[in-house]
Amino acid sequence: MRSDSKNEWKYEESHTALKPRRLRATFEMRELVAETRVDVAQLVMPIFVREGRNVKEKIDEMPGIFRYSPDGELDKEIQEISDLGINAVLLFGLPTKKDLLGSEAYNPSGVVQQAIRRIKDTKPEIVVISDVCMCGYTEHGHCGILGQGGTVENEKTISYLGKIALSQASAGADIVAPSAMMDDQVLAIRRALDSGGFDRTAIMSYSSKFASGFYGPFRVAAGSAPSFGDRKSYQMDPRNAREAIRETQIDVEQGADMIMVKPALAYLDVLSAVRQRFPLPLAAYNVSGEYSMIKAASINGWIDEARVVDEVLHSIRRAGADIIISYFSKDYSRRRNSSKG
């Protein structure tokens, strides 16, 4: 260390005065110097909707999460979410009928379209985001339309994704969120929305979505597991971070209004890199496997769930997310509201 200049830092003389613990001494002091906060207003609660009447159905793999029918059961859930101060929900639908074209996904009276209308009728201020994909609607469980040899055909699929997005926007969705990882899906959706008169509907692109084992519980919850093969020819390779920048760049150029990194926890480096390069609102998806692992450990008494969830959500925020999509959104908000007393 140099010590020839007057203004130069001299560790030898000053080190006894440097005591970071001063700022950790009390709860209030720690609150004062906290660098990041998770704001309930930026949490999104995912919701599964299924056909039926008066249904609130447990999902065994995701304790505390349910499937709702788009009626009074959904109304109650939305009321609860809104009472907790959460502003936005992300909808996934389970149709009763699946086919090769995933036609229930763009049926004007499909289950998601019903749910969107219902929420917009009862609580219009809630920001409704709807997932645009085909995996829950196709017989084979892939995210698009199959061509020769069972590969997902990009061009055909994006024209259907445009149709799906348009039908959700017509039902009242504020934001459509394409998750199929097809090339040019944002462009196709933007064009379909604009030509249908929905130039005000925003696109939250799942811009870097990795082929992840952490989606396991979701695929049971949504009934969307592929019946053969995997999603590695369209979702990203978990080993790639630079490619995430490229994927995001393309979506931004095609008109995405918001971008996303998914999953969150094994990809915090990607989240941080995307944050540094793009000024758009950035979402992170704290996915089903991340939820279920914590719930399982908590149910077994192995961890303190509240502490771990706090830590996880703040890590996602610290890495650079503005918006956090999490199945813990309600739990976290409930705790925050009660600690304010």
Judged by the rule CB under 6 A, the positions of this chain that interact with ligand PBG are 131, 133, 135, 143, 179, 215, 218-219, 224, 287-288
* Number of neighbours of residue 167 by Cβ within 10 angstroms: 24
**CA–CA gap between residue 168 and residue 162 (Å, rounded):** 10
In the chain, DSSP assigns E strands to 43-50, 56-58, 66-68, 88-94, 127-132, 175-178, 202-203, 208-209, 259-262, 282-286, 323-326
Active-site entry in 262, 295, 330, 340: 262
Minimum distance from CB of 50 to ligand PBG (Å)? 16
In angstroms, what is the minimal distance from the CB of 215 to ligand PBG?
Answer: 4
Q: Which of 163, 209, 295, 330 is catalytic?
A: 209
CB of 153 to ligand PBG, least distance (A): 16
Give whichever of 190 and 209 is closer to ligand PBG, judged by the CB atom. Answer: 209
| Residue type present at position 115 | A
CA gap 75, 89 in Å, rounded = 13
For the CB of residue 235, give the shortest distance to ligand PBG in the complex, in Å. Answer: 6
Residue closer to ligand PBG by CB (options 219, 275) is: 219
- Helix axes of 242-253 and 268-277: crossing angle, nearest 10 degrees: 40
Residue nearest to ligand PBG (CB): 218
**262 given a catalytic annotation:** yes
Residue 201 Cα to chain centre, angstroms: 18
Which three-class secondary structure state does DSSP give residue 43? strand
- The Cα 47–Cα 59 span in angstroms is 12
Q: How near is the Cβ of 133 to ligand PBG at its closest, in Å?
A: 4
Closest contact distance (angstroms) between CB of 216 and ligand PBG is: 8
Please confirm, yes or no, whether 58 is among the known catalytic residues.
Answer: no
End-to-end alpha-carbon separation of the chain, Å?
50
Among the listed residues 316, 321, 332, the one whose alpha carbon sits nearest the alpha carbon of residue 266: 316
Q: Between residues 75 and 331, which has the closer beta carbon with respect to ligand PBG?
A: 331
Cis peptide before 95 (omega within 30 of 0): no
Q: Which is nearer to ligand PBG, 24 or 283 (CB)?
A: 283
* Structure tokens, 280: 């758009």
- Residue number, 126 or 222, with CB nearest to ligand PBG: 222
Question: Among residues 103 and 326, whose Cβ is nearest to ligand PBG?
Answer: 326
Pairing of strands 175-178, 127-132: parallel
List active site positions. 209, 262
